[in-house]
Amino acid sequence: MSTNATALENANDTRLRGFRWWKEVGWKHVFAVAMIAYCIFPILYVLSASLNPGGTLTGSTRLFPAVSLNNYVELFGTTNFPRWMLQSFLVSSVTAIGTVLMGAAAAYAFSRFRFAGRRGGLTALLIIQMFPQLLAFIAIFLLLLRLRDIYPFLGLGSVWGLIAVYLGGAMGANTFLMYGFFNTIPQDLDEAAKIDGATHAQIFWGMIMRLVTPILAVVGLLSFVGTYGDFILARIILARPENYTLAVGLYVWGSDERNAPWSLFSSGAVIAAIPIILLFMYLQKYIVSGLTAGGVKG
């Protein structure tokens, strides 16, 4: 009986062993570990440079040859880094909130209402996204240069002018992303709310916006990350060092080939990455559902 039971147990055992395990599963583990090491090494190298009191980026031959927090103390004590970080938070936060509100309103209109020019408007938004943003940089510069004479707070060199430019280019892709998600919500819910006496504003703010939280989180996250790390537009529009964002300020530090403060640069890079990491960790539960649900029904 025991021999038969052992044979039956071996027959039902589907676990992989030996060469078969390495062939089907084991190499994946090795590849995953190698990729993790490949991704972590640059992070450890920058962290090591930020803790290096020598102020060099390539002078050490091993990670963490010396550890000191003097670079972080100097970063927040004698440089414009705190102001640059606040400017980046202001620009990215206002742009993310404005992008979400404008994109949601446009997507709701295209999804729920039937009006003349609806299909043409969607097509126009799609076509506009085909042209690279580099084509508009000269026009944006000249527009803000003239606008500075009329509305200085929105002109060239103004943080609010940079925010206005970001918001102006945020409609196309975000509207399409939200439009597909809005279409997954049955219109029967709208009709039931109208029967109960709800207005379009009450339906939009009180019901629809709650149901589309995943896509709102995704669009807000993408907008925040995109503007937080944007360099070209910020470099063109912001001229004074006290108005720099993090990307522009760190570039200015690293642009000096001979006297670049690489330890301060590395310390700033480490601090600048923390908000993005925390934001991804907080919103990760919405990312997959928000990006995939819009493709169910368009």
**Cα torsion 273, 275, 281, 286: sign:** negative
Residue 39 lies in a domain: yes
Helix axes 172-182, 213-228, angle to 10 degrees: 160
SS (H, E, C) 126-182: HHHCCCCHHHHHHHHHHHHHHHHHHCHHHCCCCHHHHHHHHHHCCCHHHHHHHHHHH
Top pLDDT among 15 and 59 is at: 15
Q: Residue 53 above 50 pLDDT? A: yes
Pick the residue with more confidence: 74 or 173?
74
Q: What is the pLDDT of residue 25?
A: 77
- 293 — pLDDT class (breaks 50, 70, 90): low
Q: What is the CATH number of the domain that holds 266?
A: 1.10.3720.10
Residue 264: CB partners within 8 Å, gap ≥ 6? 55, 71, 74, 75, 79, 81, 253
- Calculate the CA 86 to chain-centre distance: 17
- Other CB atoms within a 10 A radius of the CB of residue 188 amount to 8
Taking each helix axis from N to C end, the angle separating 81-112 and 159-168, rounded to the nearest 10 degrees, works out to: 30
Half-sphere exposure of 230 (CA within 13 A, CB side): 25
Structure tokens at 91: 């620009």
pLDDT tens profile 22-44 = 777 778 888 999 999 898 888 88
Shared domain check, 90 and 35: no
Q: 153 and 39 in one domain?
A: no
Please tell me the total count of domains within the chain.
Answer: 2
pLDDT digit string, tens, across residues 2-11: 555 454 444 4
**Is 52 among the domain residues?**
yes
Predicted local distance difference test score (pLDDT) of residue 97: 93
Does one domain contain both 35 and 169? no
Q: Is residue 9 part of a domain?
A: no
pLDDT digits (tens, 9 = 90+) for 95-146: 999 999 998 988 888 888 888 888 888 888 878 777 777 788 888 889 888 8
Residue 3 lies in a domain: no
Q: How many CA atoms lie within 13 A of 50 on its CB side?
A: 17
Each residue of 136-155: pLDDT tens digit?
Answer: 888 888 988 888 888 888 88
pLDDT at res. 47: 86
Q: What is the mean pLDDT of residues 64-75?
A: 80
Instruction: Judge if 48 and 175 occupy the same domain.
Output: no
Is residue 126 domain-shared with residue 180, that is, in the same domain? Answer: yes
**Phi, psi dihedral angles at 220 (to 5 degrees):** -60, -40
Residue 181, exposed/middle/buried by CB under 10 A (0-12, 13-18, 19+)?
Answer: buried
Amino acid identity of 38?
Answer: Y
190 domain residue, yes or no: yes
| Percent of the chain scoring above 70 in pLDDT | 85
Q: What domain range is 164 assigned to?
A: 73-293
| Same-domain pairing of 132 and 166 | yes
Give Cα 256 to chain centroid, integer Å.
28
What does the pLDDT look like over 239-256, one tens digit per residue? 888 889 999 999 888 887
Q: In terms of domains, do 63 and 156 share one?
A: no
Note whether 101 and 147 are same-domain residues: yes
Residues 137 and 271 in one domain: yes
Residue 152 has a pLDDT of 82
